[in-house]
Structure 1
């Protein structure tokens, strides 16, 4: 099971956080608590802006 890590910017406070692309739980911003990623059973849906792929796995 491979997955990628992404740097996501929070839409509310501009905090940047690394999130796993196949997150199985809701990921909240560590600063303000806004939801950054929502699980969908496969790839997570991101609420913030994806800035870059931090680590790509095949």
Structure 2
């Protein structure tokens, strides 16, 4: 996958939400509606604090 997911904390209500790093649309907080990420044509610009990078998970065939 070409991009990472980030755990972002809302600057207003402190809700933690996972956001795609190359978001193509504006991402709002699910709790209070504040903008968390704004698209820039490449990597999104985050308004809240980035707490962690969510690791890529691969599914192994059984």
Q: Normalising by structure 1, what TM-score?
A: 0.93
Match of residue 6 from structure 1: 6
Match of residue 47 from structure 1: 47
Aligned CA-pair RMSD:
1.4
Q: Normalising by structure 2, what TM-score?
A: 0.87
Match of residue 19 from structure 2: 19
Deviation, 1:7, is 0.1
In the alignment, the residues of structure 2 paired with residue 4 and residue 43 of structure 1 have an alpha-carbon distance, to the nearest angstrom, of: 10
Q: Which runs of 4+ in 1 moved over 3 A?
A: none
In the alignment, the residues of structure 2 paired with residue 55 and residue 2 of structure 1 have an alpha-carbon distance, to the nearest angstrom, of: 13
In the alignment, the residues of structure 2 paired with residue 43 and residue 51 of structure 1 have an alpha-carbon distance, to the nearest angstrom, of: 16
User: Could you say which structure has the greater relative contact order, defined with CA pairs below 8 angstroms and 6 or more residues apart?
Assistant: 1
Any idea what SS the aligned residue of 1:51 has? strand
Q: Which structure has more strand as a fraction of its residues?
A: 1
Any idea what SS the aligned residue of 1:43 has? coil
Match of residue 31 from structure 1: 31
